[in-house]
A and B are shown apart, each in its own frame.
Chain A
């Protein structure tokens, strides 16, 4: 019983957050994701669901507002684009350390520095390998459609609470800005304070006589305790790998060659697969949906089947390193992609496949 609408990706995720029962959004404008905050301000969820929407004075402040809200057990979200995400990294590290649930959207633009406002996938390393300081990981979802922007808001919150961890939706300027039809899920009511106290017994909801005080912190000056804490975090990340690795296989069953691509690039590569198959090349596409945990096992299996893999990313090649680790030298793995806000075409990808992998 959904509701069908034509929406931008940025609008879809904002609407989905409200429907998912989000308690608070804290953001700061930056292209190409400002529609998230604009949409929320225009639909005024504070008058309907009671969700708080606040434009902070900076990305730094916005992420720390999320820390405060999440520390109370509230379902919180922020969004930004690459340079703003860099500013949020301190807070993300603290939230990972303090084990706070958070949904964070990165609508990636070309970098480094101020870079460009055009789409890119150059923040893969930052999203999956840390970004902030310390031994931590984010659960990273890569939507490839406006529909997934909406669906992953709900899924992202679920994962954030399942693992008490920040979850990043690693999108890009194409998915954020383009309009597609989206089937919106039915609204879920926000949790009551009583429900939060029950489901988040760790949250700072006010120390009552029946429990010890709750402390939200990422600090432990006792190194032995801190090491144990990091080991516990690692166990959580391993559980994510075992239980919540997500990917999509497209024409992989009989594939002799494989493209590996996520998000917008996967949409482009889907067309490349069609064109290649029309030419008689048995090409498949493996689309990682979670970038962390990475579908290492699936790619490792496919390495026993195909002759070569091409990681196609709108960057200089970042995910290709994880593909190579999964393949572990069994077959050739190369990268192709445009960067700096340029977007490769299906034909360019096919030409690259022919010259680098098939002919290489």
Chain B
């Protein structure tokens, strides 16, 4: 199991489920949920959170700026 290094927080109600983030993710982490948000969109979420490196590629292409990205600071 890969060590968790990054994480994203999706502002679910503002996500339009366009899916542009999916091909942008090098780790295959971000996917569209089967569930929908209040507007009826299949919102983005971390399907494989343990693979996230916090590279922010998803946020870089998100047209609605709904993704916040965190990355563990490696101090050792």
A contacting B, Cβ–Cβ less than 8 Å: no
Interface residues of B (CB under 8 A from A): none
Interface residues of A (CB under 8 A from B): none
